[in-house]
Structure 1
Amino acid sequence: MFKTKRTLLIMLVILSLAVSIIGCSNSGKEESSSAQPAGSESSSGEKAASDNVKAGPAIDKDTVVIATADETPSLSATGHNAVAGDYVNQLMYNGLFRLDNNLNPIPELVKEYTIEEDANGEKSIWVMTLKEGVKFHDGSVLTSDDVIATLLDAKTKPEVRTYTTSVVDVEKVNDLTFKIYTDGASSALLYDLSHHGNMIRPKALIDAGNDFNTNPIGTGAYKFVEWTRGEELKFTANEEYFDPNRAPKIKNIVWKIIPEGSSRTIALESGEIDYIIELDSTSLDSLKANPDVSVLEVPSVSHNWLTVNNEKEPFDNLDVRKALCSAINRADVITVALNGAGIPAGGQTPEGLLGFSPEGFDNYDLEAAKAHMAAWGGDPSTIKLDIICSNDTKRRAGEVIQANLKEIGIEANLSSMDLATYLSETAAGNFTGFIGGYTTNDMVSFLKGVYHSENINASNKTRTNNPEIDELIGKASKAVDQEERRLILEEASKILNQEAYQMPLYQNYIISAHKANLDNTFITAGGSFRVQEWSWK
């Protein structure tokens, strides 16, 4: 079973994650409106007999109710680096670029761009022109000043630092044209500009110190209405959205927070909600059999792991880390936590991204784990490992890990924490262990976020400080040639496998479910979906 799923993932990546070589000039073409994402299906194509699906409960065609397990830590585009926050940021803001269904960056607010070299050949100059007449939710018109203010402000925010370092400087040409300077060639810039941290906000509000967590003003397809903490968020359609071809088809969005997987399933079946973002895998079989429900399953590039704090004893010891990594039965974790909907992690970097390598990775091997503990020479019973879990899936994974670690004499404890607190505490290093993950669309961004020393106290939660890794990330960021970049990234992957800074578990399938009469739904391998393109049949 796992071999088949791994093959599917590799095929997905070959089709959808090949990075295009950046030429000297590129105007960037919009995706075809008929394109479907690699590895996913529209709701109209999920069931062969879709025309015969029974009518579900009565619906309000002006509203869609979405359920999610985790509440966003912030409505600000720069106040977090969480998937739960990215979902709602995508509603309210736009970037200069966005990722298409195949995870390639395409222009969004940008109309056209070219790439030049400076006189000394030391920097690349990206000359970009904005689309005309784009309005923010407050009625002000988008200009180059807003772009410059946004990109410079984002560089000051530690939560999104990973995605701002490619921008060295920004310069205004006129109201619609500006220049972005990068440190030589950059393979990362367009991906970075697609990240929520660089989504464009009004200069006037940035300068005035606006709290974008309470007053999130962007150019997005939906406007923020209200947030009832712990319960729900409400959004309404932006009637002046700049792109008529992608204007929202459903007026009102209600975003409900339902942490328990079974409760989300019951809410969908009863008609209380219309769409589940994170379907609990234990409900997968029953919902597949329900003719009123459509299920989407997509192999993902999300990398999930047990992280230990490398700055705390004994996790600063390589043999202890390798013992932990070797002791975990990943197949059992997938069975219990995901109901089989995933593949075992095969390295310290995500399989499917350019530069992945399994060489030197500590796969499940109980005897090797015991040998590493013996080489460490300490008493396993003295190891204090408290594993923080922020949802049900992580807790189920944690229970398997608990049992595995007992085999090498380590007693691990599990604790629960809400997502916002979990993100804050783990970023600050206030933990011995936690179960988490990282989702990105290219290996350079993954390595920068998870392992670069500049992101300690932010997204580098292993607190890794390895100058060799930092140097390789820098080289890969400037390597426009794909083969050159692949070799650099593979070298980094092999070093990380040897150092075992964390204990990778799995790459899960992204599983969502919705009422069968909700149309035009899809999910990319990066987990993105676009509510503005949904409609009721």
Structure 2
Amino acid sequence: MRIHSNVGAILASFVALSFAFAPSTRLGAQTKQKTIFVGHGVDLESLNPYWHNTTANYAVWRHFLEPLAEYDFAKRKYVGVLAESWSGSEKGWTFKLHRNVKFHSGAEMTATDVIYSLKRSMDPKLSRQVNLARIIQSMQAPDPYTVTITTTKPVVSLLEYLDNTYILSEAAAKESGDEATLGKKPVGTGPFKFVEWVRGERVVAEKNPQYWRGAPKIDRIIWKPVAEDAARMALLESGQADLIANVPPHETDRLKANSTVRLEEVRSARIIFLLLDPAHKPLDNKLVRQAIHFAIDKDALVKYVLDGKAYRLDGMLGPHGFGEDPSFKPYSCYNPQKAKELLAAAGFGTGFEIDFYTSTGRYTKDREVAQAIAGQLAKVGIKTRFHTPEWGIFNDLHRSGKCPICFRGRGTVVDPDDFFNEYFESGVSKRTSYSNPKFDRLLQQQRQIFDLEKREPILQAAIKILLDDTPIVPLYNPIDIYAAKRRLVWKPSTKDYINVAEADVAEK
């Protein structure tokens, strides 16, 4: 059968990798070097850290590239990475950099590299992460370890925008041979150095022994993209992978019985949702979009498709998100009769047919959940043409606004300003044509308020508009399930991706 042949091919490729990287060894063998094989759902899309903005890319990039600051879920606040400290006001922000931070090339990181990196992230010829271009007016380096940013308007959420904006070596980027793609070797400050990327096969990184925070304990990481759940499971159980993501919930009991494997679970800050693009009729009709929301039985999705491994969303974000009003639940009940009434009021009492796109292997049981949703929509008369393109193609279609109904996720939504700007603020993105001037005004207003107590009710009002207009149907926060070899010392993060920079292999 097809699945079995895929599993065999992937197993063979991992065996080949084991020999190819000798004397580096897989976890558990008694040699000097420690190599971790990670099986995840989708491949890296680019070596340019600004050309894509999906968590699947950040999961790999973050090992050899670093941002100024990032959100720490354990501490429930932003913490410095390359930035030692910062201050923000209505006029702008100032960042003080750590000294003696070295790039993999050996050169010291300075404010010049930070400004170069932020500027290229704002350049549409070099980046798809151009959100900063709308809020940064100018940048200066008063000294080698200070960066001052003047914003076009006050931006309280700048740290959220910078969380995944990685800092590159300006000199190395310009010497790479192709500045747009960084040639074949991005140079950062991270705990691992990039070695190679073979598209569809593997990404390899090796330890940076001079890492400014202290050398990692693992010598080499090899990431293998494996879309099929059964294939990832087979890699782990055969000993060819040390850690896998997106374990199917129905397989957890079986894995618990395996003495060589352990499971790790964590509630993710990622939101899984449907995007309903008003550019595609009849989704331009608000009543139709609301009908779709009432037609979806979220409890059934969680219980029967995900085996209870998710938390349904009645609001927008879940408990990790700032601005969530837990008392506002306009779609708390599954109501297919209400959905039919809304469709009839919109002039579609006999239903309609529409295209529905989903990823495969990116999120836990993404295709199965989307198929279940398609079945629920069919019960109220909405027939879907179901599409499951490869991840890179899916993302390109999504970004260009060619997916009428789109099943997808957004990782690590803490401060939702960046997310709302990217998806729902008028004229910002082609992902959706949604536009509401009142929502835009509220979003822009809350962005300028540095007093959180005053900011929160304005953000809540914007979220209420979004839920009522329904260009998005929030579905659930997933429980991320990982499976690892027992000797791998590693814990998952709420932050939606595998980070093994601090992992180790325990002694027998």
TM-score, normalized by length of structure 2?
A: 0.86
Match of 2:416 among 443, 458, 469: 443
Superposition pairs of residues 100-249 of structure 1, within 5 angstroms: 100-102=72-74, 103-115=76-88, 123-124=91-92, 126-157=93-124, 159-162=128-131, 165-183=134-152, 185-195=154-164, 198-207=165-174, 209-210=178-179, 211-212=181-182, 214-244=184-214, 247-249=215-217
CA contact (8 A) 2:267 2:478 kept: yes
Q: Deviations over 1:77-134 (max 9, x none)?
A: 101111110101101101111232435211111233445x6xxxx613x333322222
Change in 2 beyond 3 A, CA 1:174/1:488 = same
CA contact (8 A) 1:299 1:509 kept: yes
CA distance in 1 between counterparts of 2:273 and 2:115 reads 37
Match of 2:463 among 489, 493, 497: 493
Structure-1 residue corresponding to 2:14: none
CA deviation after TM superposition for structure 1 residue 180, in Å: 1.8
Query: 1:159 aligns to what SS in structure 2?
Result: coil
Structure-1 residue corresponding to 2:35: 63
Could you tell me which amino acid in structure 2 is paired with residue 146 of structure 1? Answer: D
CA deviation after TM superposition for structure 1 residue 421, in Å: 0.8
Could you tell me which amino acid in structure 2 is paired with residue 148 of structure 1? Answer: I
Q: Does 1:299 align with 2:271?
A: no
CA distance in 1 between counterparts of 2:189 and 2:493 reads 23
CA distance in 2 between counterparts of 1:449 and 1:263 reads 34
Structure-1 residue corresponding to 2:436: 466
Q: Does 1:387 align with 2:357?
A: yes
Q: Deviations over 1:43-80 (max 9, x none)?
A: xxxxxxxxxxxxx9647651010010111222221011
CA distance in 1 between counterparts of 2:211 and 2:480 reads 29
CA distance in 1 between counterparts of 2:459 and 2:30 reads 49
RMSD: 2.2
Q: Deviations over 1:340-375 (max 9, x none)?
A: 100122124445312113636334211110110110
| Structure 1 alignment gaps of length 5 or more | 1-55
Match of 1:96 among 68, 71, 79: 68
CA distance in 1 between counterparts of 2:474 and 2:115 reads 38
Change in 2 beyond 3 A, CA 1:422/1:186 = same
CA contact (8 A) 1:128 1:177 kept: yes
Q: Deviations over 1:186-237 (max 9, x none)?
A: 3212232222xx2111223445652226321111111111112112111111
Query: 2:231 aligns to what SS in structure 1?
Result: helix
Structure-1 residue corresponding to 2:18: none
Structure-1 residue corresponding to 2:9: none
Match of 1:270 among 233, 238, 249: 238
Query: 1:396 aligns to what SS in structure 2?
Result: helix
Match of 1:400 among 366, 372, 391: 372
Structure-2 residue corresponding to 1:527: 496
Q: Does 1:409 align with 2:377?
A: no
CA contact (8 A) 1:74 1:213 kept: no
CA distance in 2 between counterparts of 1:58 and 1:425 reads 44
| Structure 2 alignment gaps of length 5 or more | 1-26
Structure-2 residue corresponding to 1:331: 299
CA contact (8 A) 2:67 2:166 kept: yes
Query: 1:532 aligns to what SS in structure 2?
Result: coil
Q: Identity, % of aligned pairs?
A: 26
CA deviation after TM superposition for structure 1 residue 173, in Å: 0.8
Q: Deviations over 1:243-295 (max 9, x none)?
A: 12xx2110110101111112211211221100012222222222223232221
Q: Deviations over 1:395-419 (max 9, x none)?
A: 1112211221121112113221111
Could you tell me which amino acid in structure 2 is paired with residue 495 of structure 1? Answer: I
Could you tell me which amino acid in structure 1 is paired with residue 347 of structure 2? Answer: G
CA distance in 2 between counterparts of 1:232 and 1:387 reads 26
TM-score, normalized by length of structure 1?
A: 0.82
Query: 1:133 aligns to what SS in structure 2?
Result: coil
CA contact (8 A) 1:360 1:498 kept: no
CA contact (8 A) 2:173 2:187 kept: no
Query: 1:146 aligns to what SS in structure 2?
Result: helix
Match of 2:403 among 431, 443, 447: 431
Match of 2:55 among 83, 88, 94: 83
The count of corresponding residues between Structure 1 and Structure 2 is 468
Of stretches 199-208 and 231-240 in structure 1, the one that deviates more from structure 2 is 199-208
Match of 1:362 among 331, 339, 345: 331
Change in 2 beyond 3 A, CA 1:529/1:165 = farther
CA contact (8 A) 1:163 1:192 kept: yes
CA distance in 1 between counterparts of 2:102 and 2:343 reads 60
